[in-house]
Structure 1
Amino acid sequence: MDASTWDDRYASTELLWSAVPNRFVEAELADLPPGRAVDLAAGEGRNAIWLAGQGWEVTAVDFSAVAVEKGRRLAEAVGVALDWVVADLLEYEPEPGGFDLVLVAYLHLPAGELDTVLDRAARALVPGGVLLVVGHDAENLRHGVGGPQDPAVLHTPEGIAARLPGLRVERAERVRRPVPDAEREAIDTLVRAYRPPSR
């Protein structure tokens, strides 16, 4: 979907997603010491705003101007400051070696485009910096609920881990997420990796 389609989706409701952070983002990142973070495909900013509340200096990037404006208002309402950027991730390049944390949550793109984003995400890390990728897993089609229905854009732990040259993968697995009013849980891919310190 293009930016205008997402603008329409975000404009159609007060909040397309929850105002609280994703459960896996919170669990994986709560103990990290704050530094500089960039949230790629931030949407309305629920994860970015939570990170800013934890003391991080956050840049939140999304190609939907409507989502970014909603995020700005949410951040102001809870009293945190972020740097908001409206940009297509196929064109945006975070500062190489500029971030202690890069977050990519529920970004689903064809393989070649995802490679571009993840390569830039990996290069944006300082030595010791953490990359966290969370997204709908391919197993979700048969055994889970929700998410994109195109298998070409769904994740697997092995597939994401293989797209992170130069990083050390600490965790790559399928995780389950309860969905309100659904009979089954959603199945997500979670990959956490870091850039090894320079020798």
Structure 2
Amino acid sequence: MNSWDKRFQTVEYVYGEQPNTFIKNYADYLKNYTNIAAYAEGEGRNAVFLASEGHTVTAFDYAQSGLQKTQQLAKKYDVIVETKLTDLLQDELPVEFFDAAIMVFGHFPVEQQYEVLKRIIDSVKPGGLIMMELYSIYQLPYASGGPKQLEFLYDPIDVLAWCQSHKILHFFTGEQVRNEGILHTGLAHTIQFIIEKS
């Protein structure tokens, strides 16, 4: 059992049942994209929200307990979400299969961040959308959530460089208020992007 498995073994949804604010506020970008992958999806709040908006959603996570909670949440809101137990660093992902992909606060060591991002982009068809919100390296002094180790945070300059070969529809880095469950509370420093795959 990994640490995320342990974290999600609670009745309570530690990141809440409501979608991430960025995903909710920018969901219109996804309206013509039917088949969506939600990566590092945890307890399923974003996947269930997108399913309730009419999308076909597959949630990927490597915590079995998180995926079980995703199914419970989908049932509660009367939607269907497919779940796949997946290690984004090691397991095969579909290639050019999804119309769009999202990832919210997926934490990976700095030397593996580009590889994960690339694999997520590869899983989307050309012309598809990729949307993410990540904690930036400037999040460290904030007490509002996210990893406490610098090597699990993202450098906005790196992320912008990784997006550069695609059409950037939205890019933001700076302070955002995030009140999501008990583990994301208050002012945070994030990176957001929406890109259209070349």
User: By the TM > 0.5 criterion, same fold?
Assistant: yes
Paired residue for 1:7? Answer: 5
Q: Aligned runs of 1:165-184 on 2, under 5 Å?
A: 166-179=165-178
Paired residue for 1:92? Answer: 91
**Structure 1 unaligned blocks of 5 or more:** none
Using the TM superposition, give the Cα deviation of residue 143 of structure 1 relative to its aligned residue in structure 2, in angstroms: 5.5
- Equivalent position amino acid for 1:146 in 2: G
Query: What SS does the aligned partner of 1:109 have?
Result: coil
2:21, 2:178 within 8 Å by CA — same for their partners in 1? no
Q: Aligned runs of 1:54-133 on 2, under 5 Å?
A: 54-133=53-132
Alignment counterpart, residue 193 of structure 1, candidates 180, 192, 195: 195
| TM-score normalised per structure 2 | 0.88
Of stretches 153-162 and 54-63 in structure 1, the one that deviates more from structure 2 is 153-162
Cα distance in 1 for partners of 2:166, 2:122 equals 9
Cα distance in 2 for partners of 1:179, 1:38 equals 23
Cα distance in 1 for partners of 2:65, 2:78 equals 20
Give the 3 Å change call, closer, same or farther, for CA 193–21 of structure 1 in structure 2.
same
Give the 3 Å change call, closer, same or farther, for CA 128–183 of structure 1 in structure 2.
closer
Cα distance in 2 for partners of 1:78, 1:184 equals 27
| TM-score normalised per structure 1 | 0.88
Using the TM superposition, give the Cα deviation of residue 6 of structure 1 relative to its aligned residue in structure 2, in angstroms: 1.2
Give the 3 Å change call, closer, same or farther, for CA 193–34 of structure 1 in structure 2.
closer
Higher RCO (CA 8 Å, separation ≥ 6 residues)? 2
Of stretches 148-157 and 19-28 in structure 1, the one that deviates more from structure 2 is 148-157
Higher strand share: 2
Cα distance in 1 for partners of 2:29, 2:161 equals 26
2:33, 2:55 within 8 Å by CA — same for their partners in 1? yes
Query: What SS does the aligned partner of 1:178 have?
Result: strand
Of stretches 169-178 and 127-136 in structure 1, the one that deviates more from structure 2 is 169-178
Aligned residues between the structures: 194
**Structure 2 unaligned blocks of 5 or more:** none
1:145, 1:187 within 8 Å by CA — same for their partners in 2? no
Identical positions, percent: 25
Give the 3 Å change call, closer, same or farther, for CA 133–66 of structure 1 in structure 2.
same
1:119, 1:164 within 8 Å by CA — same for their partners in 2? no
